[in-house]
Amino acid sequence: MKLVSTAIVACLLPLALAKSFLVTYPKDTPNAVIDSAKASVRKAGGVITHEYSLVIKGFAATGPEEAVQQISTQSTVFKPTIEEDQTVSIS
């Protein structure tokens, strides 16, 4: 029973520490820059939850703070805007 509890905690702990965030880039950003950022998120244990390409360039993801920090410093020319994903409503 203790082994099962430990396994459950090991699986759920990364989810509890993960943050949901949106990453957007300037319109002239090459796709290679965005692809590199998505690869960094995945490498850090994150998951890309949505990709944007029609109106804005970017993606939504869930991952550790480490992933956000890596993305923010990857490109000095095409700086991303990174913000916490949250519910938006109209009053």
- Answer whether residue 36 is part of any domain: yes
Q: What is the reported pTM?
A: 0.76
pLDDT of 42 reads 95
DSSP-derived secondary structure letter, 26: -
Q: Which two tokens stand for residue 47?
A: 């998951």
Phi-psi region of 62 (alpha: psi -120 to 50; beta: other; left: phi over 0): beta
Tens of pLDDT, residue by residue over 13-65, are 444 457 899 999 999 999 999 999 999 999 999 999 999 988 899 999 999 99
Identify whether 7 is part of a domain.
Answer: no
DSSP strand E in the chain: where? 19-25, 47-52, 57-63, 81-84
Give me the phi and psi of 82, to 5 degrees please.
-120, 125
**Confidence class for position 81, pLDDT limits 50, 70, 90:** very high
What local confidence, expressed as pLDDT, does residue 41 receive?
95
| Boundaries of domain holding 42 | 18-84
Task: Tell me whether residue 25 is in a domain.
Answer: yes
Per-residue confidence (pLDDT) for residue 9, from 0 to 100: 44
The enclosing domain of 79 has a CATH number of 3.30.70.80
pLDDT at 7 over 50: no
